[in-house]
Amino acid sequence: MYNYLKIEQDGAIATLTISAPKTLNALNSAILGEIGQAIDALPAGTRVLIITGDGEKSFVAGADISEMAHLDEGEGFAFGKRGADVFRKIETLPIPVIAAVNGFALGGGCEIAMACDIRICSSNARFGQPEVGLGIIPGFSGTVRLARLVGMGMAKQLIFTGKNIKADEALRIGLVNAVYEPGELMPAAKQLAEAISANAPVAVAYAKQCINDGYDLPTAEAIAYENRLFGRCFATEDQKAGMAAFLSKGKAQFQGK
């Protein structure tokens, strides 16, 4: 079905692996298209998505420079918008998305990781936005998300210098949540996904919505937005099941309703 992706479904957890080993999983138009299709085709009942790269050397080494090298202004705009639209689709999925970053996450690789809700990485991971060394800027929303994740000053330093940083520095500045040895990365990602998927799916979706949408709202509006979604939780079967299980000292079986 896909030429550049591997999709694995394990119960409520889906794993999307970008697989273009000859180019270190670099993103071209075809791969971006397939990622968008795969996001749209996630089976009902999926509660968590893990995104990773094929092999231990590279998560996503960047965007495909051989495709970008000959673009004119209009084509460059269209290519950037294609990537930005796909990454926005990841960001706004109602389920949590975990980036399991193995190896290089440069340019578009760093940007797709930043579109995910949670980032964990292997100890050999390398992050960076090296675009200015190629005469361009980050084009898949990197200037937006990096500043929001690590602060404006650090984002400017990383983007203006184009320098890569190691996993421990990415952890220090808050770009990733945790660092693991390469062989421990995917088990850790799946363990995290299982912990999330055990909770009420509607509540998790509402929590993601509150954090994402409320981030840019004035405080009073963000609180009011949270209040509305908090109230909606009480119209769900999951809320009834969760609280009944708590009171009876049992374990809730959430249905996502």
b/e per residue 155-194 (b: at least 16 CB within 10 A): beebbeeeebbebeebbebebbeebbeeeebbebbbebbe
Annotated domain spans of the chain: 5-197, 201-247
Q: Which of 67, 73, 111, 184 is catalytic?
A: 111
Per-residue pLDDT, 43: 94
CATH architecture for the domain at 201-247: Orthogonal Bundle (1.10)
Residues 118, 3, 142, 185, Cα dihedral to 10°: 30
Q: What is the pLDDT of residues 187-214, one digit of tens each?
A: 999 999 999 999 999 999 999 999 999 9
Low-confidence ranges of the chain (pLDDT < 70): none
Place of tokens 């361009």: 136
pLDDT the model gives residue 255: 86
CA 117 to chain centre: 5
Contact 146, 155 (CB under 8 A): yes
- pLDDT given at position 56: 84
In percent, the amount of the chain with pLDDT more than 70 equals 100
Quote the CATH superfamily of domain 5-197: 2-enoyl-CoA Hydratase; Chain A, domain 1 (3.90.226.10)
What phi and psi, each to the nearest 5 degrees, are found at residue 123?
-65, -20
Q: Is the pTM of this model over 0.85?
A: yes
Q: Is the dihedral of CA 239, 41, 189, 81 positive or negative?
A: negative
- Specify the pLDDT at position 204: 97
pLDDT digits (tens, 9 = 90+) for 209-245: 999 999 999 999 999 999 999 999 999 999 999 999 9
Strands 5-10 and 13-18: antiparallel
**The two three-digit tokens of residue 214, written as one number:** 């409320």
Residue 131 designated active-site: yes
Between CA 41 and CA 23 the distance in angstroms is 25
- Which member of 56, 67, 75, 131 is catalytic? 131
